[in-house]
Structure formats: C-alpha cells, structure tokens
Amino acid sequence: MTEETVKIAEKIDIHRGLKGVYFDRSAVCYIDGRAGELRYRGYSIHDLAQSSTFEETCYLLINGELPTKAQLNQFDVELKAARALPAPVLDVIKAVRTAHPMDVLRTAVSALAAFDPEVADNSREATLRKGVRLTSQVPMIVGAHAQIRAGKEPIAPDSKLGHAANFLYMVTGKVPTADTAKLMDTDMILHAEHGANASTFAARVVAGTEANLHAAITAAIAALSGAAHGGAAENVMHMAKEVGAPENAAEYVKKKRANKEAVMGFGHRVYRAEDPRARHMKAGVEKLSREMGQPQWYQILEALVQAMKPYSRLGVNVNVDFYAGVVYYLNGIPADLFVPIFAVGRMPGWLVSVQEQLENNILIRPLTLYNGPEPRTYVAIDER
C-alpha cells in the first residue's frame, strides 16, 4: 500500500455489521431502541397487538392506512383466493421433505417464481399483487410440508378460518380454539414488520438489483433461517428443556456466560430497553402453561429472566422470541416450525420493504477496506 492509501484507510470508519448505520428512509416502521417503542405506520404495536388482526395489520402495512370494513373484507377475499399451491410446487416440497422446514420454505418460494404469471413485472401494482399471493402461499407451504413429512396429504385450507387460525389448522390438523387462534394472530402481528432487520435488508439488497419479488423473498427466508435472527424461538425451547426446572436457571446462565455464549431470546441489535413485543407473548405463555397444567415452562422462563437481570444494564433484555417458542410448543407445534412461523408473520414486512426499495431504487453496494497481501508476482504452478 502506498503512504497515501494508508492515510486514506486510517480515516475510514468501518461499521462492522452496519451497526448504527442508516442506509435509507422508510415510512413504515418506527423503532426507538432506547425507549422500547415500536410503531407500524404510526400506530403503536401495543394497540395493534391488543385490537387489530393480522389481516388488518397487513393491509395497514401495505397501504399505509387502516382499512374500512369494506376494504378489509375485500382484502380478506384476495388473501383467501390465493390460498393454493401449484401441483409442481407440492412435488418440490415432497422431493425435499426431509430438509429443515426453512430450507423447504426457501426452496418452495423460489419454485413458485416459475408459476406466478407476473413474476417479471416489478411495477408497484404487480409487486403488491404478487406479495398478497405470497403472503397466502407461505403458510400454505409450511402447512403442506408439515403434513407431507408426516406421510399425509396436505390439509385443504378452510375459507371460514382467518389467516392465523387456518395456518394452525393446516399445520396441526385441528381447528384451534378462539383463544389459541387469537394468540397466533397476535404473534403474527408482532412479527409482521421490523425495519431494516437482517432478512428485510437481504430482501432490499436483492430488490435493489431489480431482481423480482420471489428472488427477494427467497433471500429474506435464507437470512431469517439463522440462529441470530429467526432461529432464536426454536433455540429458546431447546434451552427451556435443557434448563429443566426453574432452580437450574441461574447455573445455566452462569455457564453460558463463562463460555461467552449468548443466552437465546435475550439481546437485540436495536433494543436497549425490553423489546416491546415480548410482553404480549409473555401473557400468552403464562395463561397457556397454567391452563395446560404445565406451569413449569412459564416458571423456567421467568427464572431465566431473573438470572439475566445483571445484563439488563448492558442493554440485554428479553426479545420477542423469548416467549413465542413456548407458546408454539404448548400448541403442539414441532420446534423446527418456529422459524417458519416467523416467516409467515414477516411476509407483509418483507413485501412493503421491497416495495419501498423499488419506488426509489438504488443499487445497494457498500465497500470493504482491503487488508490483504501487498502486490505480489504470480508464480506459475510448476514453479511453486
């Protein structure tokens, strides 16, 4: 390196992991990590979790305003009309059925590109139409795979059931109670959108190259599958089982920290305060584990929260995935379907972020600062 390039390099600030970097503007999601606030299109996550439905929140995210009754009915009709998978995509799911459900989901969404008549049309209207179709098809894939890998035929969707209830029905084969359906609906509202998280960013990077929506969503699913992002809920359940009893929680945390390992379901890139979504699932775990005669799960989680209290001053608090996993478990959902549930919920967030990217598109292409070898002479293979 010349003296000049060394001087330039010294002045460059590197933001590893793009921590704290703003790369664009967005009118969709407001997050205040210090205050622990989250809003979709200006509406508090607490109001939406308590009073909205996934369908209504989805409409809000996509269109920017809450729907009238007529608009919501129409949107519901569109979502339900798209509850179908082409037969060749079901064959793809059958062919890869032994893979992790996230790998199956990624493969099936990628395959859907071959069957969507508007796949190459990146206009706003076509992107939204494709996005609504994918919002319905993603849970169809997860539900169909759950049955296929158990050696059964996929369960046909039930048009009387809403998005969350129908999803549970297709996965478990049982029509959920109103309470269970509401809890899953709330869970999907809480997961629907979250700014420039890793999977959404991945989707925007792909959309920024003018690739199509299916390509962007496939990338988002790939990014979500990792333990540091979507995988946490699944790992929290493994952790709760490993801890086994509330009195073991403190020792478990001590060991994890001694090995410099993260305790799953704690910490967040953005939140320094408690993740505002967590409390809505916490109430669900408390109620469900009591009703099902398995109060130990709630007690184990609360003991872990106590054991993690000292880390709270570092900004490490419970996140949304901490309680979600136990809710899914108590509903009889296998642990490897926890991340796909996150994907089902996040679909509208991915869609609207891709749409924002396309509306004011720019290729996302940052830089890395070279720190490899100095220039050197190529030596022919026989002379090495």
Ligand X SMILES: CC(C)(COP(=O)(O)OP(=O)(O)OC[C@H]1O[C@@H](n2cnc3c(N)ncnc32)[C@H](O)[C@@H]1OP(=O)(O)O)[C@@H](O)C(=O)NCCC(=O)NCCS
- Cα 97 to chain centroid, rounded: 21
Minimum gap (Å) between residue 345 Cβ and ligand X:
13
Is residue 216 within 8 Å of residue 354, measured between CB atoms? yes
Choose, by CB under 6 A, the member of 77, 81, 95, 228 that binds ligand X. 228
Residue 43: other Cβ atoms inside 10 A = 16
Q: How far apart are CA 130 and CA 125, in angstroms?
A: 9
Q: How far apart are CA 348 and CA 62, in angstroms?
A: 7
Contact string 184-203 vs ligand X (x = CB under 6 A): --------------------
Judged by CB, which is closer to ligand X: 100, or 256?
256
Contact string 16-45 vs ligand X (x = CB under 6 A): ------------------------------
Q: How far apart are CA 324 and CA 326, in angstroms?
A: 6
- SS3 of 127-155: the string is HHHHHHHHHHHHHHHHHHHHHHCCCCCCC
Minimum gap (Å) between residue 108 Cβ and ligand X:
24
Give the nearest residue (CB) to ligand X.
267
- Site size toward ligand X (CB under 6 A) is 17
Judged by CB, which is closer to ligand X: 160, or 238?
238
Choose, by CB under 6 A, the member of 319, 331, 355, 357 that binds ligand X. 319
**Residue 371: Cβ-neighbour burial (10 angstroms; 0-12, 13-18, 19+):** exposed
List the interface residues with ligand X, window 231-260 (CB under 6 A).
232
Residue 84: other Cβ atoms inside 10 A = 14
Q: Give yes or no for residue 311 binding ligand X (CB under 6 A).
A: yes
Choose, by CB under 6 A, the member of 268, 280, 282, 346 that binds ligand X. 268
Region from 52-60, 132-140, 210-218, 266-274 binding ligand X, contact rule CB under 6 A: 266-274
Question: Tell me, what DSSP letter sits at residue 39?
Answer: E
Minimum gap (Å) between residue 236 Cβ and ligand X:
7
Q: Could you give the 3-state DSSP secondary structure of residue 116? A: coil
Minimum gap (Å) between residue 232 Cβ and ligand X:
3
What is the contact surface with ligand X in residues (CB under 6 A)?
228, 232, 262-269, 311, 314-316, 319-321
